Each structure stands twice: as C-alpha cells, then as structure tokens.
Amino acid sequence: MGTAGELIVDSLVANGIDRVFCVPGESYLGLLDALYGRADIDTVVCRHEAGAGFMAIADARLTGRPGVVCVSRGPGASNAAIALHTAQQDEVPFILMIGQVAARNVRRDSFQEIDYRQMYGAIAKWCAEVTDPARMAETMLRAIQTATTGTPGPVVIAVPEDVLTAPTHGAPVGPQAMVRAAAVPADVAMLRGWLENAARPLVLCGRSLDRPGGREVLRNFLEQWNLPAVVSFRSQDLLPNKHRLYAGDMGLANPPDQMMVLRQADLLLVLGARLTDITTQGYTYPDLVRPQMRLAHVHADPSAIGTHFAADLAVVCDPQELIAALGAPAQWPDGVARAKWLDALERERRKIVAPRRVDVDDGVPFEDVVALIGQNLPPDAIVTVDAGTFGVPVYRVIPFTPPQRLLAPIAGAMGFGVPAAVAAGLREPARPITCLVGDGGFLMTGNELAVAMERKLPLKVVLSENCSYASIWIQQERDYPGRAIGTMFMNPDFALIGRAFGFDVTRIKSRSDLEILPDVLAQRGPQFVIVRTSLDAVRPTR
C-alpha cells in the first residue's frame, strides 16, 4: 500500500507523463517525496510558478500529453494563474497540482488557504479537491481525461497535505480508451459533394490538428482535394507556408484587401478550430450569426460548434477522423473558377509577406532580424515567441515548414517565450531552439535560464531591446498622440544577465551588425543576442 502522493506520481507515469515542473512548497511535501529517486519522471525545479506553468504548456504542446505543474498552496497557486489562463485559451492539456492546507483546516480561513474551485472555477475545465485518499486514482483518471478530450485545457487538483501522505489501496490507471466519435455517412457524403463542387472553398484549420500526425494528414487532404487553407491565430506551423495551398493565417488584424477576398469563399470548412475572437477577426468573419457562405464545422468538442456562427453542417469528431472518412475525391476538383480563386488568395498572401523596408536611425527594425532568422532557420528548428510588437513579423515573414515548430502564446501572455524555449530544450535536446523576446517580456520571466544553465541547453535567445512596452506605446501614440505614459523604461545591462546565465553575448546595434547573426545562431553553445531595436520602425504615424 502506498500513499496518495505516490499514487499521483504513478498515475502520471502510467499515462506517459515523464516530466513535471515545480516550485517546492511546504504544503505538498508528500508529493515531492513521492517524486524522490524516480528514474521514470523528471522533476524540473523552477524559480517561479508562472515560468513553471509556461514550461509545462510548451512541453504539452510538443508531446500532446498534459503538462504538469506542482505548486504550493495560496502564493504558489496564485503565481501559477497565468499558465492556467494560457492553457485554457491555447487549448493545451494541463494539470495543476496544488498542496492544500491540512484537511482539518480546509474552509477555516487557514494560513495560505484558497478555495480553488472558486478561484479557478471559470478558467479550469475541472477543479477537484481530494479529501479522501481512496478517491485519488479516480481523480487522476478524470483529470487526465478532462484535460485531454474535447477542447483540451487546464484542470486543477488540490490535495490537503495530510491526504498526500495518507495510505491508499488505489492502483494507478493507465491510458483510457480514446474517446472517438465519427461523422455519420450522410454528412460525409454531403461534405464530399460540397468540396467537389465549391468554386471558392476555404479550409480554416486550427489547434486540434496540432497533434501527432495532424500536419501530415492535413497537408495530404488539402492536396488531394485541391483546397486552399488558412490557419487559426498563431498556428502557422500547421502547414508549409510556401505551399501553393497555404492562404495565410487569421491574425490580429488581417489586411482589408485579403479579407475582401476571403469573404468571397462559397464554402468554409472549419477543421478543428474554435471560431473565437481573433480567428474570426473580432467575430466579423464569417458573418455573424448566419455566415454568408456555407459553413461546415468539424470539432471534437460539441460546444465549439454553433456557439456564435450557425453551421450548415456540424460534425463532432476529431478532424483527422473526418479527413479519413472523406477519402479521396472521385475526380480532382479543379476547373477555371477554383484556379482563379487560388490565384486571388495567393496574390493577397504575397502582398502580406512582401518585405517592408523602413529607413530609421534609432536602431534595427526588428523585422530585419526576424527575416534573417527565417531565411536561415534549420529544417527542424523550434521557435518560441513572447508577446510584443517585436513578434509581429514572425507571423508574417518566417515561412514555417513542418517539422519546424512555432511555440507562441495564443493567449498573448508576456513571459511565455523564455520558459517555452527551456521546456523545448529539455524535450527536444537535438533540435535548434530560438527564443524571440522583448525587453518587457524577458523580465516578466527569464529566470528559467537558470534551468537552461543547469541542464546545459544550447538555447539561442534573441532579445529585442527598445526600452519600451512598444505594443502598448504604439496604441497610445495612435489613440492619445503625444501622451504616452507607462510605456518607456530603463533596462539593466542585459549582457551581464546573459553572461550570468552562462550565455555568450552578442550585441547588434545597427543593420550592418546583422550579417553576423546567422553565424551566431549556428554556434553550438548557448547564445544571447541583444538587438538594439528601432521604435521609429513601428511608430504608427509612418
């Protein structure tokens, strides 16, 4: 008979989880002890629960398994909140294990006590407080199932410290049967007809295809059916961006010309995407509530369909299942109309990716840095991106091609970039990993570089230094010209910080310094590049 803490660890391992991220706390000593000496699960000790959470999210995005974070009660659980929000918005399976106050003190306003079901009730898919060690196995089963099915997302499990050390007879349960649903044959037949006959079809593909095999299945499907596709927000790595059928992404604000063309689609097939704010351009594409074109929506989660936009065909299943059911077209869907449609989409995409050269003398336009990184990106690279205006060109000019990966916070959470790179380095030590981060976001987290140092990860960090929260400054300049407040700051010496974490440091102060960048990023060891980034290049009045 083991303890409930041991059962938690055994349950994680039984479900293929081989790594947890943590900041220790006195309220979960029993769980920490259960991790002691285990060769089958790696305990990554972090310096802040937000960073630990972001690492777990990035890890989950690379493995498809839940990212797990163990934190202390009250303060630890509060620090982890941003990761929960991100896991929810980014549709990432995520488990937050919290050591709760002792069972006898629960709901007594005890030291560092929080009722997590209230705190996280609106964010988490499920929030459990386990007061009976006999229910630990069942709780773990449900936690993993809930985090991974439908729209994946965060679950929270709070366990009182004395329950963690209590004995239990429970046995860990390994992976359950996958929840599978299939489209009914009549719907498959109808969709086949629509796909064959549409003059201007468009596929909008989303997060559910970010699964093992998803990219290959998607590409093959689009090619077989001659279908152009756009990807949901920050999901550029689902398809080769230079492919003739790649029509771009749904970003923060797509150009009006492109949207005019997209509006002409006569069939919109949404594959594994939720039709949320940004992907629908603020609920304007397609038309609310009854889309102007035929809408077929395929998602494993029924609550993702028909929430804002009325679908003409609603299929609740994994998009890979539907693609398999569709099979190949009876004949290659071609014709003059479809060829013209593909040309029109391609014309708009070319306009978007065209380089935008600006002449400035206050530093380097960060777009030039991103373009150079894109041109020299190794075929198996992983790029992690923080939130900020420096990142905007990443989504435009880097022509991602699977297996290259883009790990960017879909929720737009600053502080994601560095921890994501560290987690990627731990998970994929042989792949080149580049992190792009602003000087604002770098100091929101950044301490995760201690883990990179400890684990000897040869990360490449490219820091955009403009002494500004420029994304916000741009909006102030636009909406309150000349009245910017709170968006300029003084920085510490980032070179010293980089060196302190064991990185070689390179400074890029002008365009002419840029030529060394490809060589620096190709070095074997950890590299920290500080770019003096131009603000004038992003000034809205230009």
Ligand X SMILES: Cc1ncc(C[n+]2csc(CCOP(=O)(O)OP(=O)(O)O)c2C)c(N)n1
Tokens (6 digits) for 209: 């295809």
| Interface positions, 449-468, toward ligand X (CB under 6 A) | 464, 466, 468
Report the DSSP pairing between strands 167-168 and 201-205. unpaired
Q: Does 389 bind ligand X (CB under 6 A)?
A: yes
Shortest separation between residue 447's beta carbon and ligand X, angstroms: 15
Our CB check for ligand X shows the closer of 319 and 412 to be: 412
Q: Which amino acid is at 483?
A: R
Our CB check for ligand X shows the closer of 9 and 92 to be: 92
Selected binder of ligand X within 374, 388, 393, 498 (CB under 6 A): 388
Q: How far apart are CA 448 and CA 46, in angstroms?
A: 7
Q: 271: which strand partners?
A: 205, 298
Shortest separation between residue 318's beta carbon and ligand X, angstroms: 31
Q: Could you write out the three-class secondary structure of 283-327?
A: CCCCCCCCCCCEEEEECCCHHHCCCCCCCCEEECCCHHHHHHHHC
Count of residues engaged in binding ligand X, rule: CB under 6 A: 21
Q: Does 413 bind ligand X (CB under 6 A)?
A: yes
> Using CB under 6 A, which of the segments 39-47, 303-311, 333-341, 410-418 binds ligand X?
410-418
Shortest separation between residue 232's beta carbon and ligand X, angstroms: 19
Shortest separation between residue 414's beta carbon and ligand X, angstroms: 4
CA angle 401, 402, 405 (to 5 degrees): 95
> Using CB under 6 A, which of the segments 34-42, 323-331, 408-416, 455-463 binds ligand X?
408-416
Q: How far apart are CA 353 and CA 499, in angstroms?
A: 35
User: Reduced to 3 states, what is the DSSP secondary structure of residue 476?
Assistant: helix
Shortest separation between residue 9's beta carbon and ligand X, angstroms: 31
Which residues make Cβ contacts (< 8 Å) with residue 398, sequence separation at least 6? 236, 241, 370, 373, 374, 377, 383, 406
User: Reduced to 3 states, what is the DSSP secondary structure of residue 117?
Assistant: helix
Q: Does 415 bind ligand X (CB under 6 A)?
A: yes
Our CB check for ligand X shows the closer of 139 and 471 to be: 471
Phi, psi of 529 (to 5 degrees): -110, 125
Selected binder of ligand X within 11, 165, 471, 506 (CB under 6 A): 471
Q: Does 387 bind ligand X (CB under 6 A)?
A: yes
Site string for ligand X, 420-439 (x = CB under 6 A): ------------------xx
Which residues make Cβ contacts (< 8 Å) with residue 36, sequence separation at least 6? none
Our CB check for ligand X shows the closer of 30 and 388 to be: 388
> Using CB under 6 A, which of the segments 204-212, 225-233, 388-396, 491-499 binds ligand X?
388-396
Selected binder of ligand X within 14, 163, 230, 470 (CB under 6 A): 470
Our CB check for ligand X shows the closer of 133 and 388 to be: 388
> Using CB under 6 A, which of the segments 95-103, 162-170, 240-248, 470-478 binds ligand X?
470-478
Shortest separation between residue 93's beta carbon and ligand X, angstroms: 22
Strand order in the sheet with 67-71: 42-45, 19-22, 67-71, 94-100, 154-160, 126-129
Angle between helices 185-197 and 319-326 (to 10 degrees): 70
Asked whether 538 and 388 are in contact (CB, 8 A), the reply is no
Our CB check for ligand X shows the closer of 318 and 367 to be: 367
Q: How far apart are CA 435 and CA 503, in angstroms?
A: 13
Shortest separation between residue 531's beta carbon and ligand X, angstroms: 11
Q: Does 412 bind ligand X (CB under 6 A)?
A: yes
Site string for ligand X, 117-136 (x = CB under 6 A): --------------------
> Using CB under 6 A, which of the segments 111-119, 132-140, 334-342, 413-421 binds ligand X?
413-421
Selected binder of ligand X within 2, 251, 440, 498 (CB under 6 A): 440
Shortest separation between residue 500's beta carbon and ligand X, angstroms: 20
Q: 67: which strand partners?
A: 94
Our CB check for ligand X shows the closer of 155 and 394 to be: 394
> Using CB under 6 A, which of the segments 83-91, 159-167, 307-315, 412-420 binds ligand X?
412-420
Scanning the structure block, which residue is given the tokens 């074109």? Answer: 293
Polymer length in residues for the chain: 542
Q: CA dist 128 to 79, 140, 282, 481, Å?
A: 19, 10, 34, 49
Our CB check for ligand X shows the closer of 254 and 464 to be: 464
- CA 215 to chain CA mean position, Å: 16
Q: Does 390 bind ligand X (CB under 6 A)?
A: yes
Burial class (CB in 10 A: 0-12, 13-18, 19+), 410: buried
Closest CA to 326 of 448, 243, 203, 428: 203
> Using CB under 6 A, which of the segments 156-164, 275-283, 299-307, 411-419 binds ligand X?
411-419
> Using CB under 6 A, which of the segments 2-10, 122-130, 380-388, 420-428 binds ligand X?
380-388
Residues that bind ligand X (CB under 6 A): 386-390, 412-415, 438-441, 444, 464, 466, 468-472
